[in-house]
């Protein structure tokens, strides 16, 4: 079976519980600092997962590998390769498909609900108004021809479907141990007050026992698409 390529941008925003749920060979790469990275052709992969990161999705000058990621995302959708973009990954996916990035559109950090507008073959297990983990200030518009799947008051495009690709602005990969890692990472919590950090921790203890099993089902459905491609 061809591997699933997972693109990461910083060490603390890895694939989390996505990778073990794929039931496929996984290749994790970080290419954000390389202007011309040697990325595989889409014919060589069975799926593509692009994770989050603190950089702006259009900051090609500071992070020249982002342009190569967007090209690969566009090629994957064109070739009908299953794609999952998470947070920054969703923004890169949206830009790859022609949507503008909305810098500093609105900050969402912590657990809060999103409204689901359309059923999706992969996102369905989350339900109609799931409480999910947000950690972003940038957003992306809906790409031309894409289907809006979920929104929040702050972020009108929380999830979208474009052919073989699913973009989610929120974080499906985080379980309790990964959340604790994030809450101890200065680059993530440096702008938060101690009581805000503690509130995220408390909300995680309340929400994750329900959210994690649903998110694992989402990953399983994405994995089924990957296995179909083989």
User: Which tokens belong to 192?
Assistant: 């938060």
Q: Please name the residues in contact with 29: beta carbons below 8 A apart, sequence gap of 6 or more.
A: 5, 6, 7, 8, 37, 39
Is 63 marked active-site? no
- Is-catalytic flag, 171? yes
Residue in this structure with the two tokens 């999910």, named with its chain if needed: 132
* Active-site hit among 63, 134, 136, 171: 171
Closest CA to 13 of 222, 171, 138: 171
Choice among 87, 108, 134, 136 that is catalytic: 87
Is residue 173 part of the annotated active site? The answer reads: yes
Active site residues: 87, 171, 173
């Amino acid at each position: 079976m061809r591997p699933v390529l997972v693109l990461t941008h910083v060490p603390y925003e890895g694939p989390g519980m996505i990778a073990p749920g794929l039931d496929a060979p996984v290749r994790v790469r970080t290419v954000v600092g390389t202007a011309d990275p040697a990325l595989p052709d889409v014919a060589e992969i069975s799926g593509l997962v692009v994770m989050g990161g603190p950089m702006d999705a259009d900051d090609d000058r500071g992070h020249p590998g982002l342009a190569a990621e967007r090209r690969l995302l566009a090629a994957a959708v064109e070739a009908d390769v299953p794609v999952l973009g998470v947070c920054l990954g969703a923004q890169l996916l949206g830009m790859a498909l022609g949507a503008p990035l909305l810098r500093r559109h609105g900050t969402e950090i912590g657990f809060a609900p999103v409204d689901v507008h359309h059923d999706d073959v992969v996102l369905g297990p989350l339900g109609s108004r799931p409480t999910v983990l947000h950690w972003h200030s940038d957003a992306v518009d809906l790409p031309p021809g894409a289907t809006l799947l979920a929104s929040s008051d702050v972020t009108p495009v929380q999830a979208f479907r474009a052919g073989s690709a699913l973009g989610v602005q929120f974080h499906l990969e985080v379980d309790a141990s990964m959340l604790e890692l994030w809450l101890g990472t200065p680059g993530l919590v440096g702008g938060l007050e101690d009581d805000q950090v503690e509130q995220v921790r408390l909300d995680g203890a309340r929400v994750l026992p329900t959210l994690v099993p649903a998110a694992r089902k989402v990953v399983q459905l994405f994995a089924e698409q990957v296995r179909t491609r083989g």
